[in-house]
Structure 1
Amino acid sequence: MKGQIWLKDDRQVMNTNTYEIFHNYTDRAIDLDFHMHNFYEVLVFLGGKVDYQVEDKTYPLRPGDILLTNSSELHRAIIRDGKPYERFVGWFHPDFVNKLNAQIIDADVAACFDSSSKMHFNLLHADSETFHEIVKLFEQLMKPADEKIFGDRALRDCYATELLILLNQAHLNTTITPGIHLINNPKVNDVIFYINQNLCEELTLDNLSEHFYISKYYLTRLFKQYTGLTLHQYILRKRLNTSKTMLANGCAPYDACIDSGFKNYSHFSKCFKDCFMLSPSEYSEAYQSEGKKE
């Protein structure tokens, strides 16, 4: 299995079907757009002043925090003024994770990502020893690959495997304390869960306010307060990113349109191009030719 290591990269698409490791710095205040991936992501926060949003939840990050997101969760960093935003980032492709799970009898290395999503709590707090081990593994994976060294690729895969195992152990040892280190709202949680479960249905402000017995005005204000998006913006982003993941997995453009909740292909194609700078067909072709390289 072959992974790729990058010091800094603005891509949001993997170039391999294994893993990719980054050590990134951002030295200016910026609100990044909501996005999601068709792979698992781990972020190890090293420094800066950052609020990290995952769906409706906002985590004011502190050095040593670890965040996990899976392929169905919209997320973004809100970078404040102050020290540069420094972090390690690891991307793990489902193909790599599935191969590991086929080799490991008593563990599912994707469990920490899936469980975090189900519990609506994406933050890990590793003990000091485990955190230093995790950082050490990132540093090992950041070293330039050398195919001339015997077993170099196999050793890197071992580091990546150990990293996933340590993340799962940290996840199991993390205690969720309601209201601590997390900004969210139970009603907004319920609305987002409903949207995600009914993405292909008719999702209008009228329908949602009626379903949740809440006024349109209050729902609009509450949703914007906790997500930074209007309901329409959130639903559109979710459908677009869902269709993008489908296209990356080989789904035909028209099927991705319908299965992500769009009713009209022309409207879908225009929105997709406005968001991602490529038409659905162009993105599909580009990803299939570039995104699956070993």
Structure 2
Amino acid sequence: MKYFFDIQLNEDYAWKMSQFHFHDAYEVTIVLDGHGEMRVGSHTYTMKRGAVMLLHNAEIHRSVVDDETIYRRYVIKFPVEYAVLLSTPQTDLLKMFEANTPCILLDESQIGNIEKLCEKAMIGHVEYGEDLLRQSAFVELIITLNKLAGSLQKAEPYHSKNVDRVTPIMEYITANADKNINLDNIAAEFYITKQHLCYIFKKTTGLGIGEYLTAQRLIRACELLRKGKSVQISGEESGFRNNSHFIRTFKKVFGISPGKYSAGYKDTIFV
């Protein structure tokens, strides 16, 4: 059986993402050990034992863990179509991603319960009934996380000087990605030289201005394609001025063409 969700127990030493990234799947990260931070868009959250990050599809994020720290966490990914398929009018499995903040904090007993559910939902022996038991465990896990997200204290983001400086720039690019903006426009908007703009943006996010702009346009294109817009219209309304360039860029990032994506591509896309 082909599964439409993925659960992994990852362990890294002094983990550091070189830059922001995104993928067309919902993601839940449950921290078991380690201390650091995760930047989600223009907000930064503390990562420590018990922290759970709820990232909706196409959310730009980056995690950095303190030096000499073992970063151990469960990472759960699944496409929106799979969650919608399993949801009912009474139980929306995507509800937890609607919160104002994507970070919740678990206590020790809750961590233990979530660990057990993750273990049950991970790939086991290929035996009769294992596929359905794994799917059942996944549903129980997501329902449990939804209930916790609705009742637990939410972790508020904190701000650093560098992040505060680029936050308005990121928000401006996100809001205007579908327009014909470029480095000159953005620099003029914030009364800053192009050289200094590129420097502070790259230093803080790990992405160049052009890379971040392209990412925002692809996020918008995915939304339009899922709504049934044609490939050409999705590209144009996302800010791509050339349809061939849009198709090449989309395929390079997601591994499939926007046409196949629009046609109902159901496999999980991980970047």
| TM-score, normalising length: structure 1 | 0.70
> Mapping of 1:130-279 within 5 angstroms?
130-149=110-129, 152-172=130-150, 173-177=152-156, 179=158, 183=160, 185=163, 188-208=166-186, 214-217=190-193, 223-224=201-202, 226-240=204-218, 242-243=220-221, 253-268=231-246, 271=249, 276=253
Name 2:84's counterpart in structure 1: 98
SS of the residue aligned with 1:216?
coil
Task: Work out which of the residue numbers 258, 267, 270 in structure 2 matches 1:291.
Answer: 267
Name 2:43's counterpart in structure 1: 57
Number of residue equivalences: 264
Give CA deviations for 1:10-47 in whole Å, capped at 9, x if unaligned. xxxxxx3xx22111233465434433222211011223
**Could you tell me how far apart the structure 1 residues matched to 2:254 and 2:86 are?**
35
User: Which has the higher mean CA deviation after the structures are superposed, 245-254 or 127-136?
Assistant: 245-254
Cα distance change, pair 93–189 in 1 and its aligned pair in 2 (3 A): same
**Could you tell me how far apart the structure 2 residues matched to 1:246 and 1:289 are?**
14
SS of the residue aligned with 1:76?
strand
Give CA deviations for 1:45-104 in whole Å, capped at 9, x if unaligned. 2234543222222334212211111113112333554244322111122223213322x5
Name the aligned partner's letter for residue 48 of structure 2.
R
Name the aligned partner's letter for residue 63 of structure 1.
R
Task: Work out which of the residue numbers 79, 83, 103 in structure 2 matches 1:123.
Answer: 103
Cα deviation for residue 257 of structure 1 reads 2.8
Contact 1:67-1:123 within 8 A present in 2 as well:
yes
> Mapping of 1:66-105 within 5 angstroms?
66-79=52-65, 81-102=67-88, 105=90
Unaligned runs of 5+ in 1: 5-15
**Could you tell me how far apart the structure 2 residues matched to 1:290 and 1:71 are?**
14
Task: Work out which of the residue numbers 5, 22, 46 in structure 1 matches 2:8.
Answer: 22
Q: What is the CA RMSD across the aligned residues, in angstroms?
A: 3.8
Q: What percentage of aligned pairs have identical amino acids?
A: 26
Cα distance change, pair 25–245 in 1 and its aligned pair in 2 (3 A): farther
Cα deviation for residue 113 of structure 1 reads 1.2
Name the aligned partner's letter for residue 233 of structure 1.
E
| TM-score, normalising length: structure 2 | 0.75
Corresponding position: 1:47 with 2:33: yes
Contact 2:93-2:143 within 8 A present in 1 as well:
yes
**Could you tell me how far apart the structure 2 residues matched to 1:289 and 1:92 are?**
13
Name 1:10's counterpart in structure 2: none
Contact 2:114-2:141 within 8 A present in 1 as well:
yes
Contact 1:30-1:79 within 8 A present in 2 as well:
yes
Unaligned runs of 5+ in 2: none
Contact 1:49-1:81 within 8 A present in 2 as well:
no
Cα distance change, pair 138–53 in 1 and its aligned pair in 2 (3 A): same
Contact 1:112-1:171 within 8 A present in 2 as well:
yes
Contact 2:45-2:155 within 8 A present in 1 as well:
no
Cα distance change, pair 73–163 in 1 and its aligned pair in 2 (3 A): same
Name 1:111's counterpart in structure 2: 95
Cα distance change, pair 277–161 in 1 and its aligned pair in 2 (3 A): closer
